[in-house]
Structure formats: structure tokens, C-alpha cells
Amino acid sequence: MPEPEEGAAFFAANCTSCHGRDGRGEGPLSAGLSPKPTDLTLLARRNGGTFPTARALSYIYGDPQGGHLARVMPQFGGAMADDLVPLEVDGVLTPTPRALAGLLAYMESIQR
């Protein structure tokens, strides 16, 4: 399984321009975005103290409940589909792109 450090590298390369280096939603492009980028360090707090793995996975990979025009954040699904690892999501081992599993591990590690 990927470690948070692997996810931190993906985050630095793909997410900091909007979410900021610390994940609090204050990246250099955030001022021009509506809605503003989410503070990723508060996901667990906003979910009763538990990191919302399934919801985060769904949203990052390409939220099936929202059309592509409703999203500000890019979908990463297609580019990640070749290297899968088993990730436990709501008690079920789910084939998940390795890069995304690492990103989720990193995001869970920065919760406050």
C-alpha cells in the first residue's frame, strides 16, 4: 500500500495550486475560484471525526453524482486506472488507483 509520503508527492504536483501547500484551500489560484477550494484538513472534523474515505475517493476519482460541468476540480480517474491496489472503503476492499490511495493516505494524515 502506498504511504502518505507518496500521496504528498501527488498532492504537491496536482493539488497545491488550488488547495495550497498545507491543504487549507488557499493556493495561488484559489482567489479566482467559485466555489473556493475545500479546506482538506477539516474533512474528518466535518464528518463526525472520521475521514470520509468513500466520499473523497468518489469526488477525486470523478464524482458519479455530479456532471463534469458542475465541478471545478479536474477528474483524475482516467489517468490512474492502470495501477490498482486494494483499499478498504466502508469495510469493503475496493480496487483503487495506487496514486489515489496514496493521496487519500496523505489527506487523512493532515487532518486537524
Q: Inform me whether the pLDDT recorded for 93 exceeds 50.
A: yes
The residue-averaged pLDDT of 88-92 equals 93
Helical spans, DSSP H, in the chain: 4-14, 16-19, 53-62, 77-80, 98-109
pTM for the model: 0.86
| Cα 97 from Cα 78, distance rounded (Å) | 10
| Cα 64 from Cα 66, distance rounded (Å) | 6
Q: Where are the domains of the chain?
A: 4-110
| pLDDT tens-digit map of 60-88 | 876 655 554 455 677 676 667 778 999 99
The CATH code that applies to domain 4-110 is 1.10.760
Q: Residue 6's closest CA among 110, 103, 80?
A: 103
**Amino acid symbol at 50:** T
Q: Which of 6-20, 23-37, 74-88 has the least mean pLDDT?
A: 74-88
